[in-house]
Chains A and B, each alone.
Chain A
Amino acid sequence: MNRAAETSQPAVSGAVALKFAGQTGEYFRIWIVNICLTVVTLGIYSAWAKVRRKRYFYGCTLLEGSAFEYTGNPVTILKGRLIVFAAFIAFSLLSEIHPAIQLVLFITFLGFLPWAILRALQFNARNSIHRNVRFGFNSTKREVGVLLLIPIFLVPLTLGLAYPYYLHRKRRFFLEHSTYGRTAFGFTASARDYYYAALKLSLAFVGFLIGSIATLGIGLIPLYVLLRAYAEATFADVAWRNTTLGDIRFACSWKAGELFVLYFVNALAVLVSVGLLVPWAAIRTARYKLERIVLQSEHGLGGFLAATQENVGAVGDEAGELLGFDFGL
C-alpha cells in the first residue's frame, strides 16, 4: 500500500464501523418527489431519481466522519437506459421473425455481455468517491469473459455443484480488480470457504424442507425468507471477512434471524401501507446492513493515494444492475 509521506491528522487505529445517518422522514420526501417527477415525465426522470437516491444513501454513509460521494451523471445513465431499452425491443421484435435469428441474437448478446459488465463495474466504481479519492475498476473484456462468464456457464453444466465456486470467482474477480485510489482490494478466501458455507446452507435447506412439511405448508413462505436471510448472512460473512484493502480488513456481522425479521416486517409494512412505507423499509435496511460492517486498520484511513482515471459512460450501468454486480450491500 502506498502511504502519503506526511500525516497531519492523528491516525485512527483499531476497529471502525460504518455509520448510517439517513432519516426516514427526510428520505420519504426525497423518494416521493422522485417518484412524482418520474411518473409525470413518463419515466425520463428516473435517471435523475436514481442519482438522487444514490447520492442520499452514499452521502449518509459515514466512515470515520467522512461520507461517501456518488457522482454518476444522470444524462449518461439515461442514455444507458435508452440503449438497453432499444436493444430489448429490437431483440423481442427480431426474435419473432425466425427462430434461427434468436440464436444469432443470443450469440451477439453474449459477445456484448463482457463489455456491458465491464462498463457497469467501471461506471459504478469511478463514480464512487470517499475523501476525494475515487474507487476504480480495472479489467478487460477478455478477463470478464474468462474469469466471470465461464464460471457462470459451469453452474448449469455441473447441475449447480459449481455454484459456490462461481460465487467465489465472482467476488474474487470483483475485488481483485477494484481499487481505492492507487490501492488494490484483495480477497483471501478460497473456493473451499465458499463450499463450506454452501454446506451449512444445504443443512439449513433440509431444515427448511422439514419445517415446511411439519407446518403443512403454512410455514413455507416465512421459512423461505429465513433461508434466504441465512444464505445472505453466511455468504456476506465469508465475503467481507476475506476482503482486504491495503492493511485494512473487514468484518460483517449480519445475523440471519435479524435479517429475517427485517425483511418480513418490511414486506408486511409495505403491503399494508400500499407502498408508502418503502422509504422506511429502505432506510432501516441500509442502517442495519451498513452499521454491521466493520473496518480494522492499524494506520487509519488517511494515507491512500489517488490515481488518475478517465471517464466512463453508463451504457453498461443498467445492464450491470440487472446482473447484480456490486459490493452486495
Chain B
Amino acid sequence: MRNVRALYFDGKSSEGHEVVIAGAVGADGRSALRVRGTGINLEWPLAGVRASDRVGSSRRYLYFPDGSQCETEDNDAVDGLFAEQGATAARLLHRWESGLGYAFAAVVITVAVGWAVIVWGIPALAKQVAFALPGATESLIGRDTLAALDRIVLTPSRLSPDRAEALRRLLAAMTAGIEGAAGYRLELRTGGRVGANAFALPAGIIIVTDELVALSKDDRELEAVLAHEIGHLRQRHVLRHILQDSATALLVAFTVGDLTSLTSLAAAAPTLVLQAKFSRDFEREADDFALDYLARRGIPPDLFAVILRRMEQRTATGKDGVDFLSTHPAIRERIERARGAR
C-alpha cells in the first residue's frame, strides 16, 4: 500500500494544505487512514471514509466524516487504500473504460444494439404510435402538408370537371370495397416540377397530377397507381416516416451529442442512409398492396409495370444506378416485381 500525496481542504475555506495519506491501524484494531501535513494530524477509520468513483485520470476525492476532503491525482494509490473493498461496480466500470479492447467491444455492442433499435425498434414503435394518433392530429398534418405543397410546387388542376369527377368516382368505387378507406379523397393538381406523380398524405389525401393522368393510356393504369397510394394510406406510411425520422435523429443526437448542435447533427447524418431503407420498405409494402388489389379485380399487373415504366422514361432523374441511396426502390426492380406478380 502506497502513501498518497494529496491536497487537504477542511470544507470551511478554500485554503489547501499539502498532506500525505497513509493506511494505518486504528486504536480499535480496524483499518484507518492517517492524514499528515504541516499542522495537520488526523486519523479516520477507513470505513468512515468514502472515495469518489474513478473517472479516467481525472482528480480523485476522499471524503472524511467531518466534511473535510482530500484531492489527489494518484488514482492508483487511492485504489490501493480501498483494495479490501473488492470489485465494486465503479471499479468494474473503470476497468471497462481502461482497455482498448474493451472500448472496441463497446463500439461493436453499441453499433449492434443501436442498429437493432433504429431498424426494428423505432419503426415498430412508430407504427404503434401512427395507428394510435387521434384522427384530429392526422387530419391536421394532412391538411398542413397539402397546403405546404400547394404553396411550394403544386398548382390547381386543369382537367375538365367531367374528367375530374370520373377519377373521383373511380377512387370512391375502389375504396368502397376496402375496409377503413371510406374517408379517402382525391386531390387533383398540376405537378409542374414534380411532373407525372402521385402522393399519399396523412388523413386519406391522395394527390394525382394532371401530368400523370395525361401519361396514362388506360384508366386501369391509374387504378393501379391509386391502389399503390391506398396501400401507403392504409399503412399510414407518411406519418410513420415523419415519426421514424424525427425519433431517429433525436435519439442519435441525444446519445452521441455532448457537443454543439452542429456537431450533433453531423453525427446524425449517417442515419439518413437508414431512412432511405425505410422508404424502400414502404414502397414495397404499397406495391404489394397494389398488386394484390389488381389480382383481386382481375386487372393484369402488367398495367402497373407499364405506367411505372412510362413514369420512369418521363423523369430525367429516373436513373436506377444508386440503389442504396435512392428513396424509391430502383424503379426497374419494382417493374420486375409487378411483372412477376401475374
Contact = CB atoms under 8 A, between A and B. Distances in A.
B152 interface: no
A65 B7 contact: yes
Interface residues of B, number: 57
A43 B256 CA distance: 12
Interface string B6-30: 0101111111110000000000000
A302 interface: yes
Contact of A270 (B10, B60, B267): B267
A46 B269 CA distance: 22
B14 A301 contact: yes
B113 A40 contact: yes
B324 interface: no
Contact of A4 (B13, B56, B60, B67): B13
Interface stretch (B80-88, B93-101, B314-322): B93-101
Contacts of A303: 13-15
Q: Which of B102, B252, B259 has the most CB of A within 10 A?
A: B259
Interface of B: 7, 9-17, 38-39, 52-53, 55-61, 67-69, 71, 93, 96-100, 102-103, 106-107, 109-110, 113-114, 117, 134, 136-137, 252, 254-260, 262-263, 266-267, 269-270
A40 B109 contact: yes
Given A59-B60, A67-B58, 14 more contacts: A4-B15, A8-B39, A9-B16, A29-B97, A30-B56, A33-B103, A58-B58, A60-B56, A60-B59, A266-B262, A268-B266, A275-B266, A302-B15, A305-B13
A138 interface: no
Nearest to A279: B258
Contacts of A29: 56, 97-100, 102-103, 106
Nearest to B104: A32
A35 B256 contact: yes
Interface in A266-286: 266-268, 270-271, 274-276, 278, 281-282, 285
B68 A132 contact: yes
> Interface range on chain A: under 10, 10 to 19, 20 to 34, or 35 or more?
35 or more
A91 interface: no
Given A67-B71, A304-B14, A39 B136 contact: no
A8 B259 contact: no
Contacts of A275: 252, 256, 266-267, 270
B112 to A, nearest CB: 9
Q: Which of B9, B13, B57, B266 has the most CB of A within 10 A?
A: B13
Given A278-B267, A303-B13, A59 B58 contact: yes
A184 B155 CA distance: 63
Nearest to B8: A132
A258 to B, nearest CB: 15
Interface string A105-137: 000000000000000000000000011110000
A270 B102 contact: no
Given A278-B259, A306-B13, A33 B96 contact: yes
B270 to A, nearest CB: 5
Contacts of B93: 33
A59 B263 contact: no
28 contacts: A8-B15, A21-B58, A23-B57, A29-B99, A29-B100, A31-B258, A33-B102, A33-B103, A35-B255, A35-B256, A43-B255, A55-B53, A60-B58, A66-B71, A96-B136, A132-B68, A133-B13, A133-B14, A225-B262, A266-B263, A267-B263, A271-B269, A275-B256, A275-B267, A302-B13, A303-B13, A305-B12, A306-B13
A53 B137 CA distance: 39
Contacts of B110: 32, 35-36, 39
A30 B114 contact: no
A40 B107 CA distance: 12
Contact of A39 (B13, B68, B255): B255
A62 B7 CA distance: 13
B55 A282 contact: no
Contacts of A306: 11-14
Contact of A33 (B60, B69, B97): B97
Contacts of B57: 21, 23, 26
Contacts of A225: 262
B103 A285 contact: no
Contacts of B260: 263, 266, 285
Given A29-B103, A278-B258, A304-B14, A55 B68 contact: no
B71 to A, nearest CB: 6
B249 to A, nearest CB: 13
B70 to A, nearest CB: 9
A302 B97 CA distance: 35
Nearest to B133: A96
A180 B258 CA distance: 26
Given A52-B55, A69-B59, A278 B134 contact: no
A33 B106 contact: yes
A287 to B, nearest CB: 14
Interface in A59-73: 59-60, 62, 65-67, 69
Nearest to B268: A275
B16 A36 contact: no
The 9 closest A-B pairs by CB, nearest first: A59-B58, A132-B9, A67-B59, A304-B14, A275-B267, A131-B14, A36-B106, A4-B13, A271-B266
Nearest to B269: A271
A102 interface: no
A318 to B, nearest CB: 11
A282 B258 contact: yes
Contact of B16 (A27, A131, A263): A131
